[in-house]
C-alpha cells in the first residue's frame, strides 16, 4: 500500500561533487554543537539531494569527523533517484522517498535538515509554508538550513531556521577573483532574492558590504583575504549585527542576524 504523497515537487536535480562544501564546513564548524549535544545518534537530512546522491555521501563523510555515529538520510521525492542511491547506502547513510514532511522512521526528529537549491525553484509565497512543515520535524535544538549556491559552489548563501523561526543569513564567497560582495545577490535564498531592491534591508546589507569593500581596497596589497577581513570588520563597526568572527571571515564567510535583513521584522520594530 502506497504511503502519503510527499510534500513538494521534484527539482531539476542538477548537482556537482563538492558543490556544498561551504555549508558543510559551517555545519561541521560553528554548528557542530548541535551534533555533539544529541544524546542519541543525531539525524541529519539532505533534503532534495537531486539526481546524484553525491552531496549526501559527502555530508556523511564530513560530519562523522564531528560525530562518528551521525546518521545522514538523503530524502528525495523522485522514487527513481532513491532507487539509484540505494547502492551507496552504508552504516550511517541511507536514502528514502519524501519531501518537506521529512519522513523519518519511528517518529525521530532531525538535528539538521539541509535543503540546498530546493526552494529556489518554488514561488516566494511558498517558502514560509515549507519552512513550517520542516520546523515541525526538527529536534528541540535542530536547524533547517535553506540555501542556494552556484554550480561549482563558489558563491553560496543560506538561512538558518530553528523551531522558533529564522535566525541568520550566511554569505560565503570564493575570495579569489572576487570583484564585489554583491556579486552573490543572484544566489540569495528564495526568501530574499526578490527583496534585493532599493529600500529593502537585504539590499542595504549588500550595499554596505560593497562600500566597505571599496573603502578597504588599500588592503588588497596584503591579499584578498586581508581586504575581506577589513570589509567585514568595517560593517560590524557600522552596527550591522555580524554574529561570527575573523576565523570565519578568513574563509570568505560572514553571518548576520536575520533581523537585519528581514523586511517584515524591521517594519514591526
- At residue 264, the pLDDT reads 57
pLDDT of residue 266: 46
**pLDDT band of 267, cuts 50, 70, 90:** very low
- Say if residues 244 and 253 touch (Cβ distance below 8 Å): yes
Instruction: Provide the mean pLDDT of the chain.
Output: 94
pLDDT at 269 over 90: no
Evaluate whether the domain defined by 1-163 bears CATH number 3.40.50.150. yes
Residue ranges of the chain that CATH labels 3.40.50.150: 1-163
Q: What is the pTM of this model?
A: 0.94
pLDDT above 90: residue 107: no
Give 107-174 as a 3 state SS string: HCCEEEEEEECCHHHCCHHHHHHHHHHHHCCEEEEEEEEEEEECCCCCEEEEEEEECCEEEEEEEEEC
Q: Residue 92, Cβ neighbours under 10 Å: how many?
A: 17
Q: What is residue 94's three-state secondary structure?
A: strand
pLDDT at 10: 79
pLDDT value at position 9? 79
Please name every residue paired with 162 in a beta bridge, in sequence order, or none if there are none. Answer: 165
pLDDT band at 211 (very low <50, low <70, confident <90, very high): very high
Residue-level pLDDT at 11: 75
pLDDT exceeds 60 at position 258: yes
pLDDT digits (tens, 9 = 90+) for 241-253: 999 999 999 999 9
Tell me the C-alpha distance between 32 and 24, whole Å.
Answer: 10
| Element of type H or E holding 59 | helix 54-63
Q: Report pLDDT for 15.
A: 81
Which of 261, 259, 254 minimizes the C-alpha distance to 30?
A: 254
**pLDDT, average across residues 91-108:** 95
Amino acid at each position: 500500500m502506497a504511503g502519503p504523497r510527499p510534500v513538494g515537487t521534484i527539482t531539476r536535480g542538477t548537482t556537482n561533487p563538492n558543490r556544498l562544501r561551504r555549508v558543510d564546513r559551517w555545519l561541521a564548524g560553528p554548528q557542530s554543537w548541535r551534533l555533539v549535544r544529541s544524546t542519541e545518534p543525531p539525524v541529519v537530512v539532505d533534503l532534495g539531494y537531486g539526481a546524484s546522491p553525491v552531496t549526501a555521501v559527502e555530508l556523511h563523510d564530513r560530519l562523522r569527523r564531528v560525530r562518528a555515529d551521525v546518521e545522514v538520510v538523503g530524502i528525495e521525492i523522485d522514487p527513481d533517484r532513491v532507487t539509484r542511491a540505494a547502492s551507496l547506502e552504508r552504516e550511517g547513510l541511507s536514502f528514502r522517498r519524501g519531501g518537506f514532511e521529512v519522513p523519518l522512521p519511528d517518529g525521530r526528529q532531525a538535528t539538521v535538515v539541509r535543503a540546498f537549491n530546493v526552494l529556489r525553484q518554488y514561488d516566494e509565497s511558498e517558502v514560509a509554508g515549507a519552512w513550517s512543515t520542516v520546523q515541525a520535524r526538527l529536534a528541540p535544538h535542530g536547524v533547517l538550513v535553506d540555501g542556494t549556491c552556484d554550480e561549482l559552489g563558489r558563491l553560496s548563501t543560506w538561512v538558518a531556521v530553528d523551531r522558533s523561526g529564522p535566525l541568520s543569513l550566511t554569505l560565503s564567497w570564493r575570495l579569489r577573483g572576487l570583484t564585489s560582495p554583491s556579486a552573490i545577490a543572484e544566489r540569495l535564498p528564495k526568501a530574499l532574492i526578490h527583496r534585493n531592491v532599493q529600500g529593502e534591508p537585504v539590499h542595504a546589507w549588500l550595499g554596505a558590504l560593497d562600500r566597505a569593500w571599496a573603502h578597504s581596497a588599500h588592503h588588497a596589497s596584503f591579499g584578498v583575504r586581508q581586504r575581506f577581513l577589513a570589509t567585514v570588520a568595517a560593517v560590524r563597526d557600522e552596527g550591522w549585527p555580524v554574529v561570527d568572527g575573523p576565523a570565519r571571515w578568513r574563509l570568505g564567510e560572514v553571518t548576520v542576524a536575520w533581523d537585519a535583513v528581514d523586511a517584515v521584522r524591521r517594519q514591526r520594530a
